[in-house]
Amino acid sequence: MAVDIQQEHPRFAAIITGIDIGDPPSAETVRIVEQAMAEYAVVALRGSQPDDEAHIAFSRAFGPLEFPPDLKINAGTFTPRLAHGLYDASNLDAQGNIVQADSARYKYSKGNELFHTDSSFNDLPTKWSLLLAHVVPPEGGNTEFVDTRAVYDDLPDAMKQRIEGLTVEHNLWHSRKKGGMSEISEEMKAAMPAVRHPLVRTSESGRPCLYIGAHAASIVELDEAEGRALLDDLYVFATQPHYIYSHEWRLGDLVIWDNRCTLHRATGFEDLKYKRDMRRTTINEYGPERASTDRLETTPA
């Protein structure tokens, strides 16, 4: 089958058919996907249902894997159920049962319903996330995306001048608190400390973009109140409805998004009634394959 690309939103996002993710990716497949990602920032590969091994192998063709971190959360619901290298983005526990509302896993996951960019709180530079649908609920559970290149383009010139050169501190626990998670220990904070990134960066397409979202906790150059207000203003501007592409999942969809120039969020469904089994790889731009929480041991003082 020939490769076909259909744009899904006026500003970005596309669905690609004609690529079998179950096959080892050829140089031509890598070229097509890299080119599509640079243009659309979010692409859904549709029409095949790869297993975990093929999902991981496909991802590695585009960059080194980022392994799930050890967040020091002492809860049985965080026992891994998937192959090493996969993030569990489901509502399922280690036995494949739906997690309960009073569990640490459920409370932690609520932060994913805020617009964010994966791994902006990591020290290694992230590249893409690749999320594969194994089980989808009968209704709801879309994932929404924003292209922050388009958002930057539409900012008033005065705002572009104001944010140029600013640095943002990103913190995983900031977004978890906003999502309603209250029990965050000092050990958890130490395992995943805050990191800093430019507020404005250049995307793979060469276009400037915003690097913000729910993990963005403060602006280094501004006092706390002013920095928080500015980040809130940018978040509200970026998440206006006309910027959002809402992906309605089909079984076997592999959706790839560029974490460097997009925001995304999970949307609600009857998550205490229906299973939603989603498995994610995340890749970095470069570096060794490791979990972000290994950095304290591998990064020189």
Instruction: Extract the tokens encoding 145.
Output: 């995306």
Q: What is the pLDDT of residue 104?
A: 78
CATH homologous superfamily of 4-288 equals: Clavaminate synthase-like (3.60.130.10)
Q: Are 55 and 279 in contact (CB under 8 A)?
A: yes
Hey, what amino acid is at 70?
D
Q: Distance between CA atoms of 46 and 251, rounded to whole angstroms?
A: 9
Q: What is the pLDDT of residue 182?
A: 66
Q: Name the stretches of the chain with pLDDT < 50.
A: 75-77, 296-301
Q: What is the pLDDT of residue 88?
A: 93
Q: What is the pLDDT of residue 73?
A: 60
Hey, what amino acid is at 30?
V
pLDDT tens digit sequence for 194-204: 889 999 999 99
Instruction: Extract the tokens encoding 56.
Output: 């991981």
Q: What is the pLDDT of residue 172?
A: 81
DSSP 83: -
Q: What is the pLDDT of residue 72?
A: 62
Q: Which residues, including other chains, have CB under 8 Å from residue 222's CB and lie 6 or more apart?
A: 166, 230
